[in-house]
Amino acid sequence: MQLKGPSAGRMKPGDHRPFYFVLATRRALGIRFGEYYFSDGRNLVLESRGQSKKIIGPVREVLDTGCFKPCDPLLEYPLVPHAAIGKDDAGSGRYLIPKADRTKVLARLWLYVGKPPRLSATRFDLIAERFFKVGDFIVIRQCGSNFLLSPHGGAVIDWAPASWGKPRPTAGLFS
């Protein structure tokens, strides 16, 4: 996966440098929303394609501004554009995860204590009000974060046991 924009080609799977995503801009710092910066051990730095560096300042002081958020590491799968993600966020999209790796990815991104459900388990997406197989999950990358979602778009916190669900009516609300 290659990022576009100021950080193009710098943030790659397996890169263990701490990366930070700009959430809010501050004219005094000269930063823009959507840029990715990394820590060189002392300063927050933006690398450009021409190998020049833009040093923002000492990591702790810059992070105290509240303009940056730490990035999740990139997964080692290709990203494809996704309709739900705006084009302003370079390096975003939906990961193409092969079936053979889905158990590993689910375990890696599972937010809760204990084992994740089996890929064959059925869950109910509380937001979409639809049933789905856990193995049909998708992973979206946006704003430097990886999000585990149902195939209907509900975040993992909205995955309820199948017994909680009632199928959505197929007719209109008032019929």
For the chain, which residues make up each domain, given as ranges? 5-70, 79-164
In this prediction the pTM is 0.75
Instruction: Over range 134-139, report the average pLDDT.
Output: 96
* Cα gap 112→167, rounded to integer Å: 26
Count other Cβ atoms within 10 Å, centred on residue 104.
10
Tokens of 78: 């290709």
The enclosing H or E element of 105 equals helix 102-109
Tokens of 60: 């702790």
What is the share, in percent, of the chain residues with pLDDT greater than 70?
78
Instruction: Over range 8-15, report the average pLDDT.
Output: 58
- Average pLDDT along the chain: 82
pLDDT for 175 beyond 50: no
pLDDT for 42 beyond 60: yes
pLDDT recorded at residue 49: 60
- Residue 141, beta-bridge partner list: 93, 146
pLDDT for 17 beyond 80: no
Count other Cβ atoms within 10 Å, centred on residue 50.
6
Find the range with the poorest average confidence among 4-8, 85-89, 156-160.
4-8
